[in-house]
Structure 1
Amino acid sequence: MRDDRAWSGFAEISFKGNRKAYFSYTSLNLRPGLDVIVEADQGKDLGKVTAVGVIAERKCSSSNGGCATPAPEQKVLRIAHSKDIGKSQALRKDEDRVRIEARKLVAKHQLNMKVTDAEWQFDRNRLILYFTAEKRVDFRQLVRDLASKFKARIQLKQIGVRDEAALLGGVGRCGRELCCSTWLPELKPISLQLAKSQGLSLNPSQISGCCGRLMCCLMYEHRTYVEARRRFPREGLKIRTGKGLERVITIDIWNDTVLLRDDEGTRRTLTLEQLEIEVAQ
């Protein structure tokens, strides 16, 4: 295995929202938390170092889209100066105005789309507008009007409602900041089966997040539930115990108990250990 020095020219850089990219660098002493100027599409951008060396390379390899390792094509140019950071902060403030103006143009063209956020590239050569839409939108004329108004190359990027929540952030029903906007590396599909396997209410209002989709945290303990349930008989299964044939009604993995019912409707609760002894006799 290579040591960190072998990968010292590899860095993960984060930008506004949850956008991240990977860059190579030379003759720079980078560490997480530093603001840097990087090469961008026909220009330059400012981002923050979130990982370097082997850690950055592993995160890159495990990302959805993969990446070119160990030497990405684009490079970190230099460490950002205080005036660069000041300029970036001014651009972040201006993005509120841009979003409002973009929404006015969308309304003017009567397009069925919602502009969620805006992001200036550091050199103002490019403007990214994030939007959500239920159907395909013909925004060719809108792009021309936006380019004319903001004097920059326009990139309209359609995102889903889960991506929108990750971009804007918020507070979940647990009282903490949304996982998708703080630390969750990627958004994986969440199915209703995850809630069923954990015995949770299937009421959408109780298992849905701010985005209106099933909460990402449903998958956090799913494996624990699956492994715990393997020790128990399947619900609905008929098994022969000391009292004859009985059907498994419910199981309780927390209290290690099983609820049984015989053909006459009589119910009783046994611990898993007691059940195993009766079945073995």
Structure 2
Amino acid sequence: MFVLPIRFERSPRLHPMLSEVAHPVGTRVVVQGKRGPEVATVRGEPGERQAQERYGMVLHAATPADLERWADLHRQGEDLKWLLRARARERGLPVKLVAVEFTLDESLVTVSYSADERIELSSLIGEVRAHTRARVNFAAVGPREQAQMIGTLGACGRENCSSNHLQEFAPVSIRMARDQQLPLNPEKLSGPCGRLLCCLQFEHVQYQELLRELPRKNARVCHEGSGACGKVTKLHPLTGRVDVYTDQGLLQDVPASELRRAPETPERGAKGQKGSA
């Protein structure tokens, strides 16, 4: 028994599935997943079976009849999606219908939707059942899952990471943007989904390591060569340099290796206490 990495159409995530045949990469296969039989694609070489992993099953290589039926069900799902969108608008439902997907045996139809608040969609079940006898399942998806399923272009001009290669959605914070010295502009830091860019996490660990070699922003430092002291105003982690605003009113770009911590000046309160004594 082989373990093959399988990819479904609307997600880049790889699902390990058991197969009696080591199908080549790129082979369209029929698999038995959580929802039922579906058509997917082999996306990697056979791997090792893990004891505690739960696996689906590759039933067989997809035949021309399977692929023709799968394409027909995809067209039906697209038509039904646009119909449900129109009915939702007519009824004033604040919801976005993202995708309508059938299983290969047409026993289940999954309607994926996005909404800002909890919403009752039972009024749309009748619309679905008027076109299919399949069991209906409504599945709520978040902004990132929505962008993953639809697919779009990122700010880099390439396909967004969530629909291209991401295997899971890791937490992303504004701290990551600060560590990378990026302008805190929501329009530039947000992806097509409206959330913080997933790619902010890709190099964050490397930036954290580089920042450990630099003084903190607003720290007082002195240059070993010139002896000029001032305050750190900006960090350049990739080049190992910092901007220092000197006490003489000059802005200097200097290597962090040539800086040392400025000597602490006695506090005024301590001076007064010493004089009164």
Identify unmatched segments of 5+ residues in structure 2. 264-277
Structure 1 equivalent of residue 19 of structure 2: 25
Structure with the higher fraction of residues in helix conformation: 1
Q: Aligned ranges for residues 161-176 of structure 1 at < 5 Å?
A: 161-176=143-158
Cα deviations by residue, 1:73-117 (Å, 9 ceiling, x for unpaired): x42221111121122122222222110122233345442211111
Return the offset for 1:226. 1.4
Specify whether residues 187 and 41 from structure 1 end up closer, same or farther in structure 2 by C-alpha distance, changes over 3 A only: closer
Structure 1 equivalent of residue 243 of structure 2: 259
Query: Aligned to 2:156, what secondary structure does the other structure show?
Result: coil
Identify unmatched segments of 5+ residues in structure 1. 1-7, 59-66
Which of 173, 181, 197 is 1:191 aligned to?
A: 173
Return the offset for 1:197. 1.1
Q: Aligned ranges for residues 229-248 of structure 1 at < 5 Å?
A: 229-239=211-221, 242=224, 243=227, 246-248=230-232
Aligned mates of 1:169, 1:247 — CA distance in 2: 46
Return the offset for 1:266. 4.8
Structure 1 equivalent of residue 271 of structure 2: none
- Aligned CA RMSD, in angstroms, stands at 2.8
Specify whether residues 80 and 68 from structure 1 end up closer, same or farther in structure 2 by C-alpha distance, changes over 3 A only: farther
Structure 1 equivalent of residue 64 of structure 2: 82
Whether the 8 Å contact between 2:78 and 2:100 is mirrored in structure 1 is yes
Structure 2 equivalent of residue 5 of structure 1: none
The structure that has the greater radius of gyration is 2
- For 2:244, give the aligned amino acid: L
Structure 2 equivalent of residue 271 of structure 1: 255
Percent identity of paired positions between Structure 1 and Structure 2: 25
Which of 226, 233, 255 is 1:249 aligned to?
A: 233
- For 2:87, give the aligned amino acid: L
Which contiguous aligned blocks of 4+ residues in structure 1 show a shift greater than 6 angstroms?
Answer: none
Aligned mates of 2:177, 2:35 — CA distance in 1: 46
Cα deviations by residue, 1:156-214 (Å, 9 ceiling, x for unpaired): 11001111111111111211111111111112222111111111111111121111111
Aligned mates of 2:35, 2:217 — CA distance in 1: 60
Specify whether residues 136 and 201 from structure 1 end up closer, same or farther in structure 2 by C-alpha distance, changes over 3 A only: same
Return the offset for 1:42. 7.5
Whether the 8 Å contact between 1:31 and 1:49 is mirrored in structure 2 is yes
Structure 2 equivalent of residue 221 of structure 1: 203
Whether the 8 Å contact between 1:16 and 1:119 is mirrored in structure 2 is no
Aligned mates of 2:6, 2:184 — CA distance in 1: 39
When the two structures are superposed, what TM-score results if normalisation uses the length of structure 1?
0.81
Cα deviations by residue, 1:123-142 (Å, 9 ceiling, x for unpaired): 11111111001111122343
Query: Aligned to 1:98, what secondary structure does the other structure show?
Result: helix
- For 2:185, give the aligned amino acid: N
Aligned mates of 2:62, 2:30 — CA distance in 1: 6
Figure out how many residues of one structure are paired with residues of the other and give that number: 260
Q: Which has the higher mean CA deviation after the structures are superposed, 241-250 or 195-204?
A: 241-250
Which of 169, 173, 192 is 1:210 aligned to?
A: 192
| 1:180 pairs with 2:173 | no
Which of 91, 115, 120 is 1:133 aligned to?
A: 115
Return the offset for 1:224. 2.0
